[in-house]
Amino acid sequence: MVAGFFGVFQFGMPLVGWMIGSLFEPFVASVDHWFAFVLLCSIGIHMIFEAAKPERKQRPVSSLSIRVLSILAVATSIDALVAGFSFAFMRVAIFQTVITIGVVTFTLSAIGYYIGDKLGNFFRDKVRFLGGVILIGIGVKILIEHLS
C-alpha cells in the first residue's frame, strides 16, 4: 500500500507539472534555469541544515491510514511536480517518463519499506546531507549549462 501511494503520486505529479508548464512555457523559457537553480539550492541548503540539527525525539507513527499515506505521498512528490514543470521546457516523452518514474518509485518504496526500519536511524542524517549537496550541485550544473 505504501509503495502504491508513492508510485501513483510520483507518476501523477510530474504529469500535472508538465501540463502547467506547457501552458506557461512561452513566458518562462528564458528564466527557467534561474528558477531551477534557486529552487534546487534552496531545498539542498534546507536539507543540509536539517541534517545538522541535533537529534530530536520522534513520535512513532501509530498507523499508516489512507489519510496519513496521502499526506506523505503529496509531501514527498511536490518536487516531482516542479520537475514535471521543467519537463515542458525540455520536450521529453512525458508518458514514458512518468510511467518510468512511477514504476521506479513503486519498486524502490517497496524495497525501502522493508529495509528502512533497520538502517534508517543510522543513515538518516548522512543521506539527508548528501542529498542536499547533490541538489545544490544539480542546480549549479543547470545554471552553468544555460549560461554558457
- State residue 94's pLDDT score: 93
pTM for this model (two decimals): 0.61
- Among the listed residues 130, 126, 81, 80, the one whose alpha carbon sits nearest the alpha carbon of residue 105: 80
Q: What is the dihedral of CA 13, 18, 20, 24, to 10 degrees?
A: 150
Kindly report, residue by residue over 76-125, the tens digit of the pLDDT.
Answer: 787 788 788 888 878 789 999 999 999 999 999 999 888 776 776 677 67
What is the C-alpha to C-alpha distance for residues 38 and 136, in angstroms, rounded to an integer? Answer: 9
Over range 19-47, report the average pLDDT.
80
| Residues belonging to the chain | 148
78 Cβ contact partners less than 8 Å away, ≥ 6 residues apart: 13
- State residue 128's pLDDT score: 77
Which range, of 22-26, 114-118, 143-147, averages the lowest pLDDT?
Answer: 114-118
